[in-house]
Amino acid sequence: MSASTVRVALVYPELLGTYGDRGNAVILERRLAWRGIAAELVEVRAGAAVPSDVDVFVLGGGEDDPQSLAAEGLRASKPAIEHALDHGAAMLAVCAGFQLLGHSYEAADDEHVPGLALLDMVTVAGADRLVGECVVEPDAPLPLLTGFENHAGRTRLGDGVAPLGPVRVGRGNGDGVDGARADRVVGTYLHGPVLARNPALADLLLGWVVGQLPPIDDGLALRLRAERLAAAGLNAR
């Protein structure tokens, strides 16, 4: 972690910003500030090198062409990203950003685009799009996670990579689970933005960086979470 201010890096928001995923970075910064913890939101624009002196990376979703451009830039910055992760940084990657963590993903033109290879996984194209509410049941201490998905990719995890959790509603990776979780990295297909719907997930990421967090009033966020779970036919817990 940085010596004083927690730096949240929003990576390539103009390429990986579908469905309001930039809100995840804003939420992380605000949840620190509400607790009196100094935080800074750093926007890494497309074409810029990703810095190594940040504490949380946030990657969002994107369409095929922007995703390919993002893949090129991320590969060039892989040493900086790995350095940060090796020194305690955390990462949240959503949808296209999640696919970029693997060895490769299959674009719409059947091209297999190399990813960061941070996780042992690949993404191939599916026959149809997976669209709608999605609910994931992760391991404790996280409760049910709610979001919505809109993607055609099918992500296959290697034997040593754990999913974020089984899917209760929706399709996720396409094989009964959603996302991936390894060390301080979380990947998921959940939009929403996912951290607005699931404050416990936001605090899990922040806790990896700053340690135990004091409680804050999450009444509004929990009402949103309960509403979206009800829309998916489930009770909040």
Is the CB of residue 93 less than 8 Å from the CB of residue 186? Answer: yes
Is 95 an annotated catalytic residue?
A: yes
Name every residue whose Cβ is closer than 8 Å to that of residue 157 and which is 6 or more positions away in sequence. 119, 120, 121, 163, 173, 177, 180
Is 103 an annotated catalytic residue?
A: no
Q: Is the peptide bond before 193 cis (omega within 30 degrees of 0)?
A: yes
Q: Which of 95, 103, 134, 151 is catalytic?
A: 95
Q: Is the peptide bond before 166 cis (omega within 30 degrees of 0)?
A: no
Positions marked catalytic:
95, 191
